[in-house]
Structure 1
Amino acid sequence: MKRVGIWLDKIKAHIVTFHDSKESFITILSNVENVHVHGGSGRRLIGGPQYGVQDRKYLEREKHQLKKYFKTIISEIKDVDEIVIFGPAETGEKFYKELTEKHKDLATKIIDVVKTDSMTKRQAKAWVKVFFKTKGCRFL
C-alpha cells in the first residue's frame, strides 16, 4: 500500500511517501508570487474605486499560479492508495477543493485534511509516520 502525506503552503510542498517499508521525500516549490495587495491610493477619492482593478489582476494571477502548483503536486501522487493533506493557512483546503472538483479519483483517496503549524522536513516526515501509524498502518 502506498501512502502519502502532503504538507503544503503557498511557498512549497513536502511530499512524504511510504511504500513497502520504504520512505521517500520530495519538495516542490510553488513559484506563487508573494505580493500583498495594498488598498487605496493614499488620498480619498469620494465615490471612486481605489485599486480595485489591480487587486483583481493579482488575485486572478495567484489563482492561475496555484493551479499550476497543484498540477505539479498531482503529477507526483497519481498512483497512491491513501493521502493526508496538512499544513498552515488555507492552501491545503484549496488543494483539497481542486482535487474534489477536477481529480475525483484522487479525492476519494484522501483520508483527512489537517491544519498544522509550519514544519521542517524532519517534522513533516515524523508527522506523517505518526498519522498513518494511528490510522492502522502495519508497516510503520
Structure 2
Amino acid sequence: MKTKVGLWIDHRKATVVAITEKGEEIKEIISEVEKQPRRSGDSPLKGTYESRQIPADNTRQRTFTGELNIYYDRVIAYIRDAESILIFGPGEAKDELKERLERNNLSGRVVGIETVDKMTDSQIAAKIRQHFAE
C-alpha cells in the first residue's frame, strides 16, 4: 500500500494525516503567518470609503506572502511522497496549496478538494479514513 495523505489546511495550521502500511500518522504544521494584512482607514459602514485615500502597504503584503510561501513549502515537503492527496479546509489556503502543488508537478496526485469548517484532529482522521476506504 502506498502512502495516502489527507490534510485540513488554513493560513494558521495544517493537520496532515498520512495512511501507510504501518498505520496512521498525524502531524500538525503550524505557520508563522501573522494575520492577513488589513488596510487601515475609514470603515465603509461609517462613512465615505475611497480605496485611493489609503495607500497600499506593500511591505506588509510581501511579508505575508513570503511567510505563506515558507509555510506551503513545509507542507509540500511533508506530503511530497504521497500517492494520493485529499485537501480540505475552510478558506483560500486549500486552493493556494493546490496551485503550489501544480507548480511542483504534484497536482496529478490530488484526488479532491473540499470546503469544510473547523474540525478536530479525530474528525479529520475519520474523514480521511472514510475517503480512502471508498
C-alpha deviations, 1:22-55, integer Å up to 9, x for none? 100000001111145134268x9xx99433232x
Corresponding residue of 1:138: none
**Structure 2 gap ranges (5+):** none
Please give the alpha-carbon distance, in whole angstroms, between the structure 2 residues aligned to 1:20 and 1:57.
Answer: 46
Moved over 2 A (4+): 38-42, 47-53, 56-60
Shift of residue 84 of structure 1?
A: 0.5
Aligned residue for 2:53, secondary structure, equals: coil
**Structure 1 gap ranges (5+):** 135-140
Q: Given that residues 39 and 50 in structure 1 are in contact (C-alpha distance below 8 angstroms), is that contact kept between their aligned partners in structure 2?
A: no
Q: Given that residues 41 and 50 in structure 1 are in contact (C-alpha distance below 8 angstroms), is that contact kept between their aligned partners in structure 2?
A: no
User: Paired residues, what number?
Assistant: 129
Question: Which of the residues 80, 84, 87 maps onto 2:86?
Answer: 84
Please give the alpha-carbon distance, in whole angstroms, between the structure 1 residues aligned to 2:59 and 2:27.
Answer: 32
Aligned residue for 1:108, secondary structure, equals: helix
C-alpha deviations, 1:82-101, integer Å up to 9, x for none? 0011010111001001111x
Q: Given that residues 85 and 112 in structure 1 are in contact (C-alpha distance below 8 angstroms), is that contact kept between their aligned partners in structure 2?
A: yes
Q: Given that residues 37 and 60 in structure 2 are in contact (C-alpha distance below 8 angstroms), is that contact kept between their aligned partners in structure 1?
A: no
Corresponding residue of 2:95: 93
Please give the alpha-carbon distance, in whole angstroms, between the structure 2 residues aligned to 1:36 and 1:48.
Answer: 15
> Identity percentage over the alignment?
26
Shift of residue 63 of structure 1?
A: 1.3
Q: Given that residues 5 and 86 in structure 2 are in contact (C-alpha distance below 8 angstroms), is that contact kept between their aligned partners in structure 1?
A: yes
Asked whether 1:51 is paired with 2:35, we answer no
Q: What is the identity, as a one-letter code, of the residue corresponding to 2:17?
A: V
Please give the alpha-carbon distance, in whole angstroms, between the structure 2 residues aligned to 1:129 and 1:48.
Answer: 47
Give the root-mean-square deviation of aligned CA atoms. 2.2
Q: Given that residues 15 and 25 in structure 1 are in contact (C-alpha distance below 8 angstroms), is that contact kept between their aligned partners in structure 2?
A: yes
Corresponding residue of 1:127: 127
C-alpha deviations, 1:43-91, integer Å up to 9, x for none? x9xx99433232x332222111111000001111121110011010111
Corresponding residue of 1:137: none
Q: What is the identity, as a one-letter code, of the residue corresponding to 1:113?
A: I
Q: TM-score, normalised by structure 1?
A: 0.82
Corresponding residue of 2:20: 19
Please give the alpha-carbon distance, in whole angstroms, between the structure 2 residues aligned to 1:85 and 1:48.
Answer: 34
Aligned residue for 2:125, secondary structure, equals: helix
Q: Given that residues 92 and 113 in structure 1 are in contact (C-alpha distance below 8 angstroms), is that contact kept between their aligned partners in structure 2?
A: yes
